[in-house]
Amino acid sequence: MCVMENSQDDYPANKIIRLWDLPLGKSATVNSIQAEGITRRRMLDLGMVPGTIVEAIRVSPAGDPKAYRVRGAVIAFRKEEAHKILINFKGE
Amino acid sequence: MGLINQSCGIGAIKENFGKSQFSNADHVIALAGNPNTGKSTVFNALTGLNQHTGNWPGKTVLRAEGRYIHQGLIFKLIDLPGAYSLMANSMEEQVARDYLCFGRPDATVVVLDATCMERNLNLVLQVLEITSRVVICVNLVDEAERKKIQIDYHALAAELGVPVVPTAARDGVGLDKLVETVSGIATGRIETKPNVVRYKEEIEVAVRKLEPKIKKLIGEAFNARWVALRLLDKDQTVIAAVEQWLTRKDGVLTGMEGVVLA
Amino acid sequence: MSRGSLSTGLNELLKEANQLNPGGSLRLNDSMVSTIYSRAEEIAGRVVTREGKPNIDWDKKLDDILTSRFFGFPSMLLLLAVIFWITVAGANVPSKILATGLFWGQERLTELLYWLHAPAWVNGFFVEGIYRCLAWVVSVMLPPMAIFFPCFTLLEDMGYLPRIAFNLDNLFKKAGTHGKQSLTMSMGFGCNAAGVIACRIIESPRERLIAMLTNNFVPCNGRFPTLIALAGLLVMGVATSFGATIIVVGIVLFGIVTTLAVSWVLSKTLLKGVPSSFTLELPPYRKPQIGRIITRSIFDRTLFVLRRAVCVAAPAGAVIWLLANINIGGVSILAHAANWLDPFGQMLGMDGYIIMAFLLGLPANEIVMPILIMSYMATGSMIELDSLEALHRLFVGEHGWTWLTAVCMMLFSLLHYPCGTTLWTIFKESCSFKWTALAALIPLGVAITVCFVVAQTVRLLGWA
Ligand SMILES: Nc1nc2c(ncn2[C@@H]2O[C@H](COP(=O)(O)OP(=O)(O)O)[C@@H](O)[C@H]2O)c(=O)[nH]1
Ligand SMILES: [Mg+2]
């Protein structure tokens, strides 16, 4: 899996990272989904299409899953699923 | 309301697939929508029954039937499990999908959560591909108000091309209007012109090629555009259903296996 | 049109569709979902307006506590404990009143029959058999249910259940199952048959079966009163309803641990596999309509329990009375059977009568306790039984119970096997004799093992 970095100076660094690594309280846009089959369909159905804004809002007390705000709804993904979603993140 | 007679004990497995409880109904109305938008609450309010409701996605897993009478006509109402989309991913979604696609109700009420319109419209747009006899019920408007969300219902109706009724089902607000509109659609008094989604050109080209052939093969039984899209998508359940329908028709036509298969 | 030509037509269509989208090169599904969502976005953008933020974001505030790292689990435990405490403490008084009233009714019925010069067996069969069993079920079952269900429904309507799933998911993942299993377990608290049906929300067949097979480890409404009564017996004279609550909570937690353990074993053996994908929506909290919840669930429940009691407890009472009063060789059938089962019962820390009550209670768990009481009374001298103290005298005084007997019976009740209705539901849902049989045998195996180990250890250590 490639992690590209945008090196243009005048833009904030725009990294492609995994959804799971999105810090709590931060937003990013969906880049692509790497899952296949039913998992992919389910994610698409929930509105995780490229370009969608997602915000990491909380993590379960057990550390997994994490909850994200997607199109006005709050959806929890396990680590395995959140790993399969790549996002464009303009880091701090 | 949770855990009541209907959802417990032997009542839990009462489900009537295929054969109908109320065969004397004048019109059949389906209730569809995302999970947790208040479908069962609308169902209970209209039929006076007690389907399980509660604030979590997934409490309705079976199809329930009830009825109400409006202006002397008997309406059979079908409460479906919630679905995020019509590309069934789970058992409960399949129950909903199969009914909408192959049950052919006289009208479909799509119940929306006013606080989460974008996600809910995804399902609406998919339903509009199957049938034009749709009423949009924007529910939970009290919650939306509390969250300071405002919705322009006229604009929504114009965008979709089907009637829109705002409701707060738990308090019975807007249900009279809903019943009125449903009856208008079911009896054909209200005409709709749904604005279906146009896909990218390659897909539309393929659909245009398939559509007339599908119409010729299966007539008006299913929406040809929708079947074309499903065939292109290689949706196995839809292909199987169409196949089954055709075999049955074949049997009837030749008069050989009609009795057995029909 | 010749036979089969329509199907041929379909095949040609499929072929053509395949050519139009060779090897799925159009990425049809992705592209369609994207198009639909961008249209949805467009429409929503035009028709929805937000006038600023709401004053207080209750969802965030509540979730910050209920799913927080530090308070997430403690608040779950606390909520569970509070609900049980309200149930245990609140059920005491109405239970007593109902019992007093109903047993007063029994005496009047007996007097009436005496006045009518009815034969003795009529009074025995109808009053001491059927009526007494009904009275027991009603006075023991009704109050806890009438309190527990509104409380539970309150949490459900508020939107707390998905938070439980969110908090506990990691445990279920480690057990190789689906996080939504905790939702099906929550349903099981009401009724295991409902819990089994709820398993349909789990997409993967493997995980759904695991959830169905282990739903029994959540005590359903039929077993709660038994657990509560036994917990009350255990702490009698030592502590109050507070102590009983702690015991009941402990039992429920033990059930949850067992669920996880059995799920884990199943997902490593019979139902091998990796956890499937998990997505769960956490809906916003909603203000529940307290008044309506209370009236509806009490009203609905009351009628439900009464109806079920009449259907199951009445014949059970009759059967027990017959078994206790038909003698073979000077000893009643009931005593024969109980004696025969006694060694097995003793091995598990209980006695033959208790095992028999569980066997006869297969149709519905709520009648286990009444059956036990009736069979004890049929062989004992006590006629009236209208309080926990009386129960204590009957069990401890006349039938030699120790605290170990109560603990083992609680454990067995928690674990043993699903009631007949639930088994039937499992059969309907799985369409398989094998899984239905396992749904009974696995819990039975667990129950026997646990009770055996507990009883033998305690006896070995000389604690009881
Ligand atoms: N505030 C409010 N709550 C509602 C309304 N309609 C339904 N609810 C609640 O929303 C939750 C979900 O409703 P339900 O009918 O079970 O949804 P379903 O999954 O679509 O069948 C329940 O807790 C209802 O009490 C409404 O109009 N206003
Ligand atoms: Mg529902």
Question: Do B134 and B181 meet the contact criterion of CB atoms below 8 Å apart?
Answer: no
CB contact under 8 A, B119 and A38: no
CB contact under 8 A, A60 and C73: no
Please choose, from the candidates B126, B133, B109, the residue with its C-alpha nearest in 3D space to the C-alpha of residue B39.
B109
Which pLDDT score, from 0 to 100, does residue C78 have?
Answer: 93
Instruction: Tell me the mean pLDDT in the region B177-206.
Output: 92
Q: Is the CB of B192 under 6 A from ligand 1?
A: no
How many contacts, defined by CB atoms under 8 Å, are there between A and B?
27
Indicate which atom in ligand 1 lies nearest the CA of residue B167: 27
Give the range among B195-209, C113-127, C422-436 with minimum mean pLDDT.
Answer: C113-127
Chain centroid offset of residue A63 CA: 17
CB contact under 8 A, A78 and C72: no
Question: Do B148 and C49 meet the contact criterion of CB atoms below 8 Å apart?
Answer: no
Phi (first) and psi of residue B241, to 5 degrees: -65, -45
B166 pLDDT higher than 70 = yes
B56 → closest Cβ in C51, C183, C197? C183
Using DSSP's 3-state secondary structure scheme, residue A66 falls into strand
For C461, other C-beta atoms within 10 Å of its C-beta total 8
C14 → closest Cβ in B2, B85, B231? B231
What's the residue count for chain B? 262
Strands A53-59 and A27-33: antiparallel
The listed range with the strongest mean pLDDT (A32-41, B1-10, B163-172) is: B163-172
- Look at C104 and C390; give whichever has higher pLDDT: C104
Roughly how many angstroms between the first and final C-alpha of chain A, as a whole number? 22
The listed range with the strongest mean pLDDT (B179-188, B209-218, B248-257) is: B179-188
B5 pLDDT higher than 60 = no
Output the six-digit token pair for C312.
């199951």
- Structural domains counted in chain A: 1
Contacts of B116 in chain A (CB under 8 A): 71-73
Single-letter residue type at C193: A
Question: Which ligand lies nearest the alpha carbon of C155?
Answer: 1
Instruction: Tell me the mean pLDDT in the region B84-109.
Output: 84
C102 pLDDT higher than 60 = yes
For C427, other C-beta atoms within 10 Å of its C-beta total 17
Which pLDDT score, from 0 to 100, does residue C91 have?
Answer: 83
Beta strands in A1-92 (DSSP E): 14-18, 27-33, 53-59, 66-70, 73-77, 85-90
Here the CATH number for the domain that contains residue A68 is 2.30.30.90
Instruction: Tell me the mean pLDDT in the region B66-85.
Output: 92
Contacts of A41 in chain B (CB under 8 A): 85, 87, 89
Which pLDDT score, from 0 to 100, does residue C386 have?
Answer: 61
**Interval C370-385: pLDDT, tens:** 888 888 877 654 455 6
**Interval C282-321: pLDDT, tens:** 999 988 888 888 877 777 666 666 676 667 778 888 888 8
pLDDT over 70 for what percent of chain B?
85
Give the range among B102-111, C87-96, C151-160, C209-218 with minimum mean pLDDT.
Answer: C87-96
Got the DSSP string for chain B? Answer: --S-GGGSGGGGG----SS-S-TT-SEEEEEEESTTSSHHHHHHHHH-------SSTTS--S-EEEEEEETTEEEEEEE----S-SS--SHHHHHHHHIIIII--SEEEEEEETT-HHHHHHHHHHHHHH-S-EEEEEE-HHHHHHTTEEE-HHHHHHHHTS-EEE-BGGGTBTHHHHHHHHHHHHHT-S-----PPP--HHHHHHHHHHHHHHHHHHTTSS-HHHHHHHHHTT-HHHHHHHHHHHHHHHHHHHTSSHHHH-
CB contact under 8 A, A71 and B116: yes
Is residue C398 very low, low, confident or very high in pLDDT (cuts 50, 70, 90)? Answer: confident
Give the range among A28-42, B155-169, B226-240 with minimum mean pLDDT.
Answer: B226-240
Q: Is residue A3 in some structural domain?
A: no
Give the range among C85-94, C201-210, C295-304 with minimum mean pLDDT.
Answer: C295-304
Single-letter residue type at B125: L
- How far is residue B124's CA from residue B151's CA, in Å, rounded to a whole number? 16
For B72, other C-beta atoms within 10 Å of its C-beta total 6
Angle at C438 between CA B16 and CA C346, to 5 degrees: 125
A67 → closest Cβ in C34, C73, C166? C166
Using DSSP's 3-state secondary structure scheme, residue A2 falls into coil
**Interval A27-86: pLDDT, tens:** 999 999 998 888 888 899 999 999 999 999 999 999 889 999 999 899 999 999 999 999
CB contact under 8 A, A45 and B89: yes
CB contact under 8 A, B56 and C296: no
Rounded distance from Cα C297 to ligand 2 centre (Å): 18
pLDDT over 90 for what percent of chain C?
36
Using DSSP's 3-state secondary structure scheme, residue A69 falls into strand
Single-letter residue type at A24: L
Q: Is the CB of B174 under 6 A from ligand 1?
A: no
- How far is residue A23's CA from residue A91's CA, in Å, rounded to a whole number? 9
Contacts of C7 in chain B (CB under 8 A): 243, 246-247, 250
Chains touching chain C, criterion 3+ CB pairs below 8 Å:
A, B
Which pLDDT score, from 0 to 100, does residue B260 have?
Answer: 31
Q: Is the CB of B41 under 6 A from ligand 1?
A: yes
C51 pLDDT higher than 60 = yes
Residue nearest to atom 14 of ligand 1 (CA): B38
Beta-carbon contacts of C312 under 8 Å, excluding residues fewer than 6 positions away, are C363, C364, C366, C367
Indicate which atom in ligand 1 lies nearest the CA of residue B79: 21
B254 pLDDT higher than 60 = no
Q: Tell me which residue range forms the domain holding A32.
A: 15-89
Q: Is the CB of B7 under 6 A from ligand 1?
A: no
Using DSSP's 3-state secondary structure scheme, residue A79 falls into helix
Contacts of A68 in chain B (CB under 8 A): none
Instruction: Tell me the mean pLDDT in the region C320-344.
Output: 87
Full 3-state SS string of chain C: CCCCHHHHHHHHHHHHHHHHCHHHCCCHHHHHHHHHHHHHHHHHHHHEEECCCCCCCHHHHHHHHHCCCCCHHHHHHHHHHHHHHHHHHHHHHHHHHHHHHHHHHHHHHHHHHHHCCCCHHHHHHHHHHHHHHHHHHHHHHHHHHHHHHHHHHHHHHHCCHHHHHHHHHHHHHHCCCCCCHHHHHHHHHHCHHHHHHHHHHCCCHHHHHHHHHHHHHCCCCCCHHHHHHHHHHHCCCCCCHHHHHHHHHHHHHHHHHHHHHHHHHHHHCCCCCCCCCCEEECCCCCCCCHHHHHHHHHHHHHHHHHHHHHHHHHHHHHHHHHHHHCEECCEEHHHHHHHHHHHHHHHCCCCHHHHHHHHHCCCCHHHHHHHHHHHHHHHCCCCCCCCHHHHHHHHHHHHCCCHHHHHHHHHHHHHCCCCHHHHHHHHHHHCCHHHHHHHHHHHHHHHHHHHHHHHHHHHHCCCC
Which pLDDT score, from 0 to 100, does residue C193 have?
Answer: 87
User: Hunting for tokens 């674990």 — which residue is that?
Assistant: C415
- Look at B89 and C208; give whichever has higher pLDDT: C208
CB contact under 8 A, B3 and C3: no
Q: Is residue A27 in some structural domain?
A: yes
* Averaged confidence pLDDT in chain C: 86
Which pLDDT score, from 0 to 100, does residue A8 have?
Answer: 47
C275 pLDDT higher than 60 = yes
Is residue C409 very low, low, confident or very high in pLDDT (cuts 50, 70, 90)? Answer: very high
Which pLDDT score, from 0 to 100, does residue C99 have?
Answer: 85
B119 → closest Cβ in A41, A42, A72? A72
CB contact under 8 A, C283 and B56: yes
Beta-carbon contacts of C280 under 8 Å, excluding residues fewer than 6 positions away, are A65, A75, A76, B57, C162, C165, C166, C169, C179, C180
Question: Do C235 and C302 meet the contact criterion of CB atoms below 8 Å apart?
Answer: no
Instruction: Tell me the mean pLDDT in the region C276-281.
Output: 86
CA distance C36 to chain A (A): 10
Which pLDDT score, from 0 to 100, does residue B4 have?
Answer: 45
Q: Is residue A59 in some structural domain?
A: yes
3-state class percentages of chain A: helix first, strand second, coil last, to nearest 5: 20, 40, 40
Contacts of C171 in chain A (CB under 8 A): 62
Q: Is the CB of B120 under 6 A from ligand 1?
A: no
Mutate which of B86, B122, B151 to disrupt the A interface (most A C-beta within 10 Å)?
B122
- How far is residue C286's CA from residue B54's CA, in Å, rounded to a whole number? 10
Which pLDDT score, from 0 to 100, does residue C168 have?
Answer: 92
* Averaged confidence pLDDT in chain B: 83
Residue to substitute in B147, B170, B175, B178 for testing ligand 1 pocket (most ligand atoms within 8 angstroms of CB): B170
Is residue C169 very low, low, confident or very high in pLDDT (cuts 50, 70, 90)? Answer: very high
Instruction: Tell me the mean pLDDT in the region C197-223.
Output: 90
CB contact under 8 A, A42 and C277: yes
**Interval B239-249: pLDDT, tens:** 888 888 877 77
Give the range among C212-221, C233-242, C434-443 with minimum mean pLDDT.
Answer: C233-242
Indicate which atom in ligand 1 lies nearest the CA of residue B44: 15
What is the sign of the dihedral through the CA atoms of C321, C323, C327 and C330? Answer: negative
